């Protein structure tokens, strides 16, 4: 049975609000690296991708979930509708959004690119994962040599070849440095190796969606040091490429299993075996043994993409719940519940339903604000390449976008379902699929705990807190002054900032203690996730108050349709500061009271 209503609901108005009213991206379109883009073109592209995402691209969302994928002799045939969605993406030229201008790209700012990707990845995440070969081509263009550009990068872009990132191994999991896949030199001068090993959980690792698939594989050359520093990155094509650029014979990389998953079922999550029945040829990327740094260019984009996917899905889930709450009539108003003759009301009039809707609205808008602020920061990286602060700020924000958004979206999609009552538990509505498809976001590209440890050790401690201090200073400026209408909210933001800084201080204390007593790291790690949550919520609270200030300024001149939108932005900010930010105090107190006894407890006692 199909969905009673259309699957994908977008919030293009909020996207445009972020881009053009809060971050004013139109002011630097046509400038420097964005010289080929202008405001009118950007707005037109958003209108078109919004239509495309909801129609052609979203069309196979349900089919992809319902039609099982099968692996037969190392090949996977995708459902016809899914292939049509993928083809339509390329035929309409949306892959040019992420291409570098030198290879036919449109020169879009990162903020606009993320807006376009939000609309598409939310419409059909499994389908979108098949079209990220452009990302792999971009990395190869930056990291590969001239020959590799001719052999692989240009054909990937011109012929819509697929691309994958290949890190995980069955026994290593998230411990990438423990990987045992080998690279045996065949012609070191030409960078030719034979790859041997098994990798697992490889997204889009097989399928008939492309004529060729280029795998970017981390492997350890013979004699290389242990750990991540000993890994190199190799180009491993499904089909070899001949000297004249034509397609050659099948390479020795084969899908030996596809996972039977809880959700996002149309995505072929593969086990890939290299060099089992025939040699698997791999080409050293750029002729340099610098694999983990090179691969992190893919990983960082993928982490941002997963946060974007989570935000887009929650937003659609909320809009479905909102529509249902405005249509479903059930029960009397709470003030008339004892009157058996009282008229029945739409469930949006019930306090608990309104509370649930506002939780979804405020968080979806808040996480989108964080996403586009990060996109704006990435634009500044390109506009001001000599100002290293922007790169560090982008690095600091990334685990917040990925870690917080993925956790919160999964949690709140259950609230979306709750608004529907029993109807939400059926396949008549897409919410149950959203929940199944979104759980993976907390696991993809490093679990939330990995994001939290990355945030503390790499983005804060290694930087000696300089970038975080700068960000906190901007937040503090807002706390100090602004519109009188938001005075209470600014005070709540200030308290949350203090609590989060206190939480961080506890963590730094544990880190210092660990220099004499290593178990201090246990206490730190027990509260790393909650630090990530608090940092994300304080940053989001700050951004939402910025949004509220913009909305307050716009209200006097707004037309009738926009009045409700701007009032909703102000309401979201007020709700978030009152209901989310006070949790920072509880997290700080828990960190302060940590005694570490959980780690002393016997395993058998669990």
Tell how far CA 463 is from the center of its chain: 24
pLDDT over threshold 70, residue 152:
yes
Catalytic-labelled residue, pool 445, 489, 533, 549: 445
With beta carbons less than 8 A apart as the criterion, state whether 161 and 90 touch. Answer: no
437 SS3 class:
helix
Largest distance between two CA atoms of the chain: 87
pLDDT band for position 160 (50/70/90)?
Answer: very high
Where do the domains of the chain lie?
Answer: 12-139, 161-289, 464-597
Angle at 135 between CA 57 and CA 38, to 5 degrees: 75
Instruction: Give the residue carrying structure tokens 């707005």.
Output: 43
Average pLDDT over residues 475-497: 97
Whole-number Å distance between alpha carbons of 588 and 496:
10
Among 36-40, 111-115, 397-401, 557-561, the minimum mean pLDDT is found in 557-561
- How much is the pLDDT for 98? 86
Averaged over 278-295, what is the pLDDT?
Answer: 96
Assess whether 445 carries a catalytic annotation.
yes
Q: In sequence order, what are the beta bridge partners of 235? A: 216, 283
**3-state DSSP call for residue 198?**
strand
pTM metric for this prediction = 0.96
For domain 161-289, the CATH class is mainly beta
Averaged pLDDT for residues 278-303: 96
Q: Which residues make Cβ contacts (< 8 Å) with residue 298, sequence separation at least 6?
A: 135, 136, 139, 165, 216
In this model, does residue 577 exceed pLDDT 90?
yes
Class of domain 12-139: mainly alpha
Q: pLDDT tens across 488-509, in order?
A: 999 999 999 999 999 999 999 9
> Mean pLDDT across the stretch 555-560?
91
Instruction: Give the phi and the psi of residue 344 in degrees, each rounded to 5.
Output: -75, 150
Residue 396 has pLDDT above 50, yes or no: yes
pLDDT at residue 543, rounded to an integer: 98
pLDDT in tens, 314-342: 999 999 999 999 999 999 999 998 898 99
pLDDT at 174: 84
pLDDT of residue 3: 55
CA angle centred on 426, ends 424 and 429, rounded to 5°: 60
Distance CA 214, CA 380 (A): 31
- pLDDT value of residue 578: 98
| First vs last C-alpha separation in the chain | 43
Sign of CA dihedral 447, 449, 450, 456: positive
Per-residue pLDDT band at 101 (split at 50, 70, 90): confident
Average pLDDT in the 387-393 region? 97
Give me the chain's average pLDDT, please: 95
Percent of all residues in the chain with a pLDDT value above 70, rounded to a whole number: 99
Q: Are 69 and 268 in contact (CB under 8 A)?
A: yes
Angle value at C-alpha 301, between 258 and 543, nearest 5 degrees: 125
Task: Say how many C-beta atoms besides its own lie within 10 A of residue 372's C-beta.
Answer: 26
Q: State the DSSP string of 119-157.
A: HHHHH-HHHHHTTTHHHHHHHHHHHS-HHHIIIIIHHHH
What local confidence, expressed as pLDDT, does residue 245 receive?
Answer: 81
Per residue in 5-32, pLDDT tens? 469 999 999 999 999 999 999 999 999 9
Q: CB–CB of 195/282 below 8 Å?
A: yes
| pLDDT value of residue 103 | 87
3-state SS, one letter per residue, for 211-263: CCEEEEEEEEECCCCCCHHHCEEEEEECEEECCCCCEEEECCEEEEEECCCCC
- pLDDT of 1: 43
| pLDDT band, very low/low/confident/very high, at 407 (cuts 50, 70, 90) | very high
173 pLDDT tier (thresholds 50, 70, 90): confident
The tens digit of pLDDT for each residue in 102-115 reads 888 888 999 999 99
**pLDDT value at 2 more than 60:** no
């Amino acid at each position: 049975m199909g969905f009673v209503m259309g699957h994908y609901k977008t919030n293009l108005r909020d996207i445009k609000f972020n881009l053009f009213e809060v971050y004013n991206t139109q002011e630097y379109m046509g400038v420097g690296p964005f010289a080929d883009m202008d405001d009118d073109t950007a707005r037109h592209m958003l209108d078109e991708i919004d239509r495309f995402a909801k129609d052609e691209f979203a069309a196979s969302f349900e089919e992809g979930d319902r039609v099982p994928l099968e692996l037969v002799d190392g090949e996977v045939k995708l459902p016809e509708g899914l292939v049509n969605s993928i083809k339509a993406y390329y035929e309409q030229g949306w892959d040019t959004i992420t291409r570098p201008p030198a290879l036919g790209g449109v020169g879009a700012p990162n903020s606009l690119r993320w807006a376009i990707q939000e609309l598409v990845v939310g419409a059909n995440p499994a389908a979108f994962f098949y079209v990220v070969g452009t990302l792999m081509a971009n990395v190869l263009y930056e990291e590969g040599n001239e020959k590799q550009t001719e052999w692989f990068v240009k054909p990937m872009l011109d012929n819509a070849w697929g691309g994958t990132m290949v890190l995980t191994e069955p026994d290593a999991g998230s411990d990438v440095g423990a990987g045992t896949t080998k690279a045996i030199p065949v012609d070191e001068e030409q960078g030719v190796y034979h790859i041997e090993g098994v990798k697992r959980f490889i997204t889009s690792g097989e399928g008939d969606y492309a004529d060729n698939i280029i795998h970017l594989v981390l492997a350890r050359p013979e004699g290389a040091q242990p750990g991540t520093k000993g890994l190199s990155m190799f180009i491993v094509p499904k089909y070899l490429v001949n000297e004249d650029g034509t397609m050659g014979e099948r390479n020795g990389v084969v899908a030996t299993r596809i996972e039977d998953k809880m959700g996002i079922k149309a995505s072929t999550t593969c086990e890939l075996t290299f060099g089992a029945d025939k040699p698997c040829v791999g080409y050293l990327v750029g002729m340099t043994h610098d694999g983990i740094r090179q691969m992190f260019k893919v990983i960082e984009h993928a982490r941002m993409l997963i946060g974007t996917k989570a935000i887009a899905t929650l937003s659609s889930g909320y809009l479905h719940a909102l529509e249902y709450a405005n249509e479903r009539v059930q029960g009397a108003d709470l003030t008339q519940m004892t009157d058996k003759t009282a008229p029945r009301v739409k469930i949006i009039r019930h306090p608990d339903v309104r509370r649930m809707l506002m939780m979804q609205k405020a968080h979806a808008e808040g996480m989108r604000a964080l996403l586009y602020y990060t996109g704006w920061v990435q634009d500044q990286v390109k506009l001001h390449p000599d100002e290293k602060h922007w790169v560090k700020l982008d690095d600091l924000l990334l685990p917040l976008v990925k870690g917080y958004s993925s956790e919160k979206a999964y949690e709140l999609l259950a609230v979306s379902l709750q608004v529907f009552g029993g109807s939400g538990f059926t396949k008549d509505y897409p919410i149950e699929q959203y929940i199944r498809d979104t759980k993976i976001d907390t696991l993809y590209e490093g679990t939330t705990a990995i994001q939290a440890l990355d945030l503390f050790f790499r983005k804060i401690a290694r930087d000696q807190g300089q970038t975080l201090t700068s960000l906190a200073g901007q937040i503090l400026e807002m706390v100090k002054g602004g519109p009188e209408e938001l005075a209470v909210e600014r005070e709540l933001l200030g308290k949350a900032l203090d609590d989060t800084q206190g939480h961080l201080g506890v963590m730094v204390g544990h880190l210092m203690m660990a220099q004499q007593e290593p178990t201090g790291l246990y206490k730190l790690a027990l509260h790393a996730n909650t630090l990530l949550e608090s940092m994300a919520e304080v940053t989001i609270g700050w951004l939402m108050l910025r949004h509220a200030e913009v909305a307050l300024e716009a209200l006097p001149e707004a037309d009738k349709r926009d009045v409700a939108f701007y009032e909703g932005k102000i309401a979201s900010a007020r709700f978030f500061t009152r209901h989310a930010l006070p949790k920072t105090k509880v997290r700080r107190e828990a960190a302060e009271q940590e005694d570490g006894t959980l780690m002393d407890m016997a395993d058998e006692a669990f």
